[in-house]
């Protein structure tokens, strides 16, 4: 089975990358996410953006439409089956990253307020991303607050910069240089993404900077296209689709009429109704059966009735709610594993708990 799964892994068969937004409070994480999701725009969901459990899924077509203008010059041949962006900026599963084995996110957007530069939580997020080896881009947000900024809604950022007067461009330049300097003081080499040289692109520790405005949408197509490029050109090995389930618990919550439910992000592989799974609790491993796999209805109108869609099986990467028994003490940020027909339950239990052990060790050394 392992060999079969291995054979199915090719560069042509990738899963969605999972992207998370991090950064200091008030830098614009929520606004940026809203702008990317087009939360306020009616056409949003109809246009191939769907709300999942704990995450938003973007179809490839939508990504290409959003980035159309920029991609005329960038010419990215999109091969990803879309992207999945985690909905809660600074979610505890990432900020506390409890899980050693299941690296939940593939890529991060670290948001910096261009007016403030690096702040305390920026540095904390930065260190966490580096310790996990998670690649990231920096959004230099609130570019519209440069003096006398002339904005064009949803423009690509280079076109917008060309529209500015000399003084505005200079202010932007000096603030961007300041951010670069502060990053280098943290040991991070960075540059405005279109000014990076070939060697910078090859260096996986080099960080691209993308000026954005979460209010006007300027630079948003730049950040989306850049994330897609990095994912498919640099991370394709880890994004190759495989049969082995890799999943992380995002949240445990009670829902009316369902009891305790567990929201998980399936990073890779397939999960099925009836699967026997193991999860972590402070009291030890819990072994239980998946009684239901739920996703929200496809449109916002239907969601008012809060009826979920039931599935027999679901493939990653995707967010899904599971129902079953014994979920009460399951811990967010820990892995969920399936006990397959060839697996020893005791081995899986030990593996799941070894993850938690490393967590508690981390907590006690903090
Ligand atoms: P979070 O705490 O990082 O999620 O920050 P929010 O998204 O809540 O934004 C904090 C404040 O900054 C709000 O008042 C936003 O309206 C404002 N803001 C966010 N992004 C931008 C931006 O690009 N330009 C401007 N001018 N204001 C912004």
Tell me which residues have their CB closer than 6 angstroms to ligand 1: 23, 25-31, 89, 141-142, 144-145, 213-215
Q: How confident is the model at residue 105 (pLDDT cuts 50, 70, 90)?
A: confident
Span 3-28, average pLDDT = 83
Span 306-311, average pLDDT: 84
Main-chain dihedrals φ then ψ at residue 158, nearest 5 degrees: -65, -40
Of residues 11 and 96, more confidently modeled: 11
The CA 8 to ligand 1 mean position distance, Å, reads 43
Indicate the pLDDT class of residue 1, thresholds 50, 70 and 90. Answer: low
**Ligand 1, atom 2, residue with closest C-alpha:** 26
Give Cβ neighbours of residue 271 (< 8 Å, ≥ 6 apart): 245, 247, 264, 290, 293, 313, 314, 316, 320, 322, 338
Mean pLDDT for 242-264 is 89
Instruction: Provide the pLDDT for residue 100.
Output: 43
- Does residue 159 or residue 340 have the better pLDDT? 159
- For the four alpha carbons of 281, 286, 292 and 295, in that order, the dihedral sign comes to positive
Mean pLDDT of 314-319: 90
Average pLDDT of the residues in 145-150: 98
- Give the Å distance between the CA of 31 and the centre of ligand 1: 6
Residues 6+ apart with CB under 8 A from 330: 249, 252, 262, 279, 280, 281, 286
Residue 23 CA, closest ligand 1 atom number: 3
Nearest CA to ligand 1 atom 25: 142
Contact 295, 271 (CB under 8 A): no
For the CA of 213, the closest atom of ligand 1 is 23
Q: Give the mean model confidence (pLDDT) for residues 321-344.
A: 91
Share of the chain above pLDDT 90, in %: 60
Nearest to 105 by CA among 122, 90, 127: 90
Ligand 1 centroid distance, CA of 152 (Å):
18
CA of 49 to the centre of ligand 1 (A): 22
Asked if residue 245 lies in contact with residue 269, where contact means CB atoms within 8 angstroms, the answer is yes
Question: Residue 200: left (phi > 0), alpha (psi -120 to 50), or beta?
Answer: alpha
**CA–CA distances in Å: residue 111 to residues 21, 151, 214:** 7, 20, 10
Determine which of 50-64, 116-130, 260-274 has the lowest per-residue pLDDT on average: 50-64
**Atom from ligand 1 closest to the CA of residue 214:** 23
Confidence check: pLDDT of 13 > 60: yes
In angstroms, the CA 273 to CA 30 distance is 34
Kindly list the distances between the CA atom of residue 102 and the CA atoms of 98, 114, 151, 276, 319, in Å, as whole numbers in the listed order: 9, 33, 41, 19, 15
Helix (H, G, I), strand (E, B) or coil at 177: helix
Structure tokens at 355: 């993850």
Q: Which of 121, 214, 218 to mutate to test the pocket of ligand 1 (most atoms within 8 A of CB)?
A: 214
Ligand 1: atom nearest CA of 34 is 7
- Per-residue pLDDT band at 101 (split at 50, 70, 90): very low
Q: Angle at CA 131, nearest 5°, toward 37 and 134?
A: 35
Give, in degrees to the nearest 5, the angle at Cα 62 between 61 and 68: 85
pLDDT at 104: 77
Do 268 and 242 contact (CB within 8 A), yes or no?
yes
Place 87 in a pLDDT band, splitting at 50, 70 and 90. confident
Residue among 21, 26, 141, 216 to mutate when testing ligand 1 (max atoms within 8 A of CB): 26
Q: ipTM of the predicted structure?
A: 0.99
- Mean pLDDT of the 184-208 span: 96
């Amino acid at each position: 089975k392992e060999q079969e799964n291995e054979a199915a892994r090719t560069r042509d068969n990738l899963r969605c990358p999972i992207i998370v937004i991090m950064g200091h409070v008030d830098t614009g994480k929520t606004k940026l996410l809203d702008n990317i999701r087009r939360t306020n725009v009616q056409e949003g969901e109809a246009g191939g953006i769907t709300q999942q459990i704990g995450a938003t899924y973007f179809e490839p077509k939508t990504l290409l439409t959003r980035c159309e203008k920029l991609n005329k010059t960038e010419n990215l041949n999109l091969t990803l089956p879309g992207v999945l962006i985690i909905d809660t900026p600074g979610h505890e599963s990432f900020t506390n990253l409890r899980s050693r084995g299941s690296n939940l996110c593939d890529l991060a957007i670290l948001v910096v307020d261009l007016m403030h530069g690096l702040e305390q939580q920026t540095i904390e997020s930065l260190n966490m991303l580096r310790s996990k080896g998670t690649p990231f881009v920096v959004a230099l947000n609130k570019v519209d607050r440069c003096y006398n900024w002339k904005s064009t809604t949803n423009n690509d950022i280079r076109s917008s910069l060309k529209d500015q007067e000399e003084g505005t461009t200079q202010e932007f330049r000096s603030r961007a240089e300041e951010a670069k300097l502060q990053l280098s003081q943290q040991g991070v080499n960075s540059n405005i993404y279109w000014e990076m040289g070939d060697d910078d692109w090859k260096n996986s520790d080099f960080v691209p900077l993308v000026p954005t405005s979460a209010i006007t949408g300027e630079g948003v197509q730049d950040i989306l296209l850049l994330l897609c490029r990095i994912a498919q050109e640099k991370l394709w090995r880890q994004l190759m689709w495989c049969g082995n389930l890799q999943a992380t618990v995002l949240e445990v919550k009670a829902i009316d009429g369902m009891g305790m439910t567990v929201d998980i992000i399936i990073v890779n592989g397939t999960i099925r109704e009836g699967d026997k799974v193991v999860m972590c609790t402070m009291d030890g491993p819990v072994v239980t059966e998946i009684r239901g796999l739920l996703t929200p209805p496809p449109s916002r109108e239907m969601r008012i009735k809060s009826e979920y869609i039931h599935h027999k099986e679901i493939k990653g990467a995707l967010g899904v709610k599971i129902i079953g028994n014994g979920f009460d003490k399951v811990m967010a940020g820990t892995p969920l594993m399936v006990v397959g027909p060839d697996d020893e339950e005791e081995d899986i239990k030990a593996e799941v708990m070894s993850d938690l052990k490393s967590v508690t060790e981390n907590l006690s050394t903090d």
